[in-house]
Amino acid sequence: MNLYFDANATEKPRPQAREAMLEATTFIGNPASIHKAGREARRLLERARTLLAESFDVIEDQVVFTSGGTEANALALHAFSHDRRILMTATEHDSVRKAARAASVIPVMPSGEVSLEDLETMLRKGGPALVCVMAANNETGVINPLPEIAALCQTHGAYLHVDAVQYAARHAMTLRGLTSVAISGHKAGGLKGAGALVLSSDMPVKAMMPGGGQERGRRGGTPALPGIASMAAALRVGQKQDWSQIAAWRDEIERVVQSCGALVVGEAAAARLANTSCLILPEMSGQAQLIALDLAGCCVSTGSACSSGKVTRSHVLEAMGLGHLAGHAIRVSLPWDVTKEDVAHFCTAYRQMASTRKKGVTA
């Protein structure tokens, strides 16, 4: 049995996304061409744009297609940081951290949620700001209090960009109080290679890649039509899915691992993604756990897929004050189609791994 429990790295393709992708591959035209084949491709592109706009309660011109969440984050920083200082939370994704190296860091609480008190203090000092906040953390699943953050930003005249790559794939959301939102297709069960920056209004955005003037001059390059179509279909389904059963299975996994001596990161947070658990097993490294579970037929991760292969500790867990324990963590992120039998198999594999550690066989 081979279980895929790494949905936050990339979600399993959804049937609706496959269908949309296959339909899109039958359109041979370039959406920028004015002949019949181009117009047909353009209609499909705009249909996907309409689906996404409806998902976020905006108009079509507020959706800018990109190659993924990383580009969408970079485009927001490029577009909205002019003459503004950048404030970002300590648990942001590397696509934000590395695109804004001079940013001031907003501390998070031990729960993983942004410190509203620190954010307000930082907003009061200095001039206009661009605040960058993840809606839901990819490693811990901790959900930030966006309405409260948005209210603080509005009070102090700050822009608010939200990395909603994980959150929007599993929750309906609007842009009320936000400036922009980054999304990614493959995190929702679509193809890799498509994303979008959703804007709070039909505002001008200076392109990083001017190209041929596509996306009304806000992002050049021929759009990846199959990926975009699959993204729109997958996101729509994911936002409407009832995640309560998956949350119950997540909780069952956490009960089992805690009985084995593990810690659940972010358990004290007000809310977490229904599918995500960050688990620390003291005295056994995250890498050793990953290997042991992989041999037992369970695919998990030690953190962000974008940082795979690195031996450094998770900056997210260190920001939460976990210190050396950060090196003993794994992330379990359940896919949209997980079953009770899958969860039972994982729990059995985890118990066996943990008992091996207790016997001192694995360090």
Q: Is 306 a catalytic residue?
A: yes
Asked which of 211, 240, 269 is the last residue of a domain, the reply is 240
Asked which of 214, 240, 266 is the last residue of a domain, the reply is 240
pLDDT for residue 199? 98
Domain match, 224 and 252 both = no
Query: Is 256 inside any structural domain?
Result: yes
Is 70 exceeded by the pLDDT of residue 311? no
Domain match, 236 and 256 both = no
Domain match, 305 and 232 both = no
Give 148-185 pLDDT, tens digit per residue: 999 999 999 999 999 999 999 999 999 999 999 999 99
Give 34-59 pLDDT, tens digit per residue: 999 999 999 999 999 999 999 999 99
Domain match, 234 and 310 both = no
**What is the helix (H) or strand (E) element at residue 132, kind and residue range?**
strand 129-134
Which residues lie below 8 Å from residue 57, measured CB to CB, with a gap of 6+? 174, 175
Domain match, 185 and 329 both = no
269's tokens: 């947070």
CA distance 111 to 106: 14
Cβ count within 10 A of residue 155 = 11
Q: Among all chains, which residue has been given the structure tokens 């990339």? A: 10
Q: Which of 132, 260, 298, 306 is catalytic?
A: 306
Asked which of 225, 240, 255 is the last residue of a domain, the reply is 240
Indicate which CATH number applies to the domain containing 226: 3.40.640.10
Q: How many structural domains does the chain have?
A: 2
**What is the helix (H) or strand (E) element at residue 83, kind and residue range?**
none
pTM of the entire predicted model: 0.95
CA distance 294 to 7: 15
Q: Which of 193, 234, 229 is nearest to 24 (CA)?
A: 229
359: confidence class by pLDDT, cuts 50, 70, 90 = low
Query: Is 363 inside any structural domain?
Result: no
Indicate which CATH number applies to the domain containing 266: 3.90.1150.10
Domain match, 110 and 201 both = yes
Query: Is 126 inside any structural domain?
Result: yes
Domain match, 122 and 192 both = yes
CA distance 133 to 86: 11
pLDDT for residue 220? 96
Question: Residue 343's domain spans which residues?
Answer: 3-11+242-358
Q: Which of 289, 265, 226 is nearest to 20 (CA)?
A: 226
Query: Is 30 inside any structural domain?
Result: yes
Domain match, 148 and 66 both = yes
Which residues lie below 8 Å from residue 72, measured CB to CB, with a gap of 6+? 64, 66, 182, 183, 184, 195, 196, 197
Query: Is 133 inside any structural domain?
Result: yes
Domain match, 86 and 235 both = yes
Give 8-17 pLDDT, tens digit per residue: 999 999 999 9
Query: Is 151 inside any structural domain?
Result: yes
Domain match, 25 and 149 both = yes
Query: Is 318 inside any structural domain?
Result: yes
Domain match, 250 and 233 both = no
Is 60 exceeded by the pLDDT of residue 208? yes
| Average pLDDT rounded to a whole number, residues 241-269 | 97
CA distance 212 to 75: 17
Is 70 exceeded by the pLDDT of residue 310? no
Is 70 exceeded by the pLDDT of residue 358? no
Query: Is 114 inside any structural domain?
Result: yes
Domain match, 186 and 260 both = no
